[in-house]
Amino acid sequence: MAINKVLIVDDSKTEIMFLTDLLQKNGFVVRSAENADEAFKRLTEEKPDLILMDVVMPGQNGFQLTRAINRTPEYTDIPIFICTSKNLETDRVWGMRQGARDYITKPVDAAELFAKIKALG
């Protein structure tokens, strides 16, 4: 599956700007959401090919949101990469158990991100 449309879910405007710029320069179409409610709104508007999910957010955290998206039948096929500053092995394992396809720690390494995206295709 070719990855073209990416949804970034992160409460940090700085992080959203950084990732949006990085992805757009490499030909991706990017949309963003700053919380769980916005994320589900974006999903209903246009289904992305990939979701980059922060963990620490107000309200529902990224682990909870990843689980909720994976339990929604029309979205179960969307790969989710947890993209967070939480770098403990227990966090990575928990993220994968919630249904994440991969786990990337911040600051995001562009080469690592693109290699992981390419591996999906």
Cα angle for residues 111, 23, 86 (degrees, 5° grid): 65
Per-domain residue ranges of the chain: 14-110
Alpha-carbon gap, residue 68 to 109, rounded angstroms: 27
pLDDT at 65: 98
Q: What was the pLDDT predicted at 1?
A: 65
What integer pLDDT is reported at residue 77 of this predicted model? 96
Rounded to two decimals, what is the model's pTM? 0.97
Q: Could you tell me the two tokens for 31?
A: 């949309």
Q: pLDDT means per 10 residues in the chain (121 residues)?
A: 93 97 98 97 97 96 97 97 96 97 96 96 76
- Torsional sign, CA 112, 105, 96, 67: negative
Is domain 14-110 classified as CATH 3.30.930.10?
A: no
The pLDDT score that the predictor gives to residue 121 is: 76
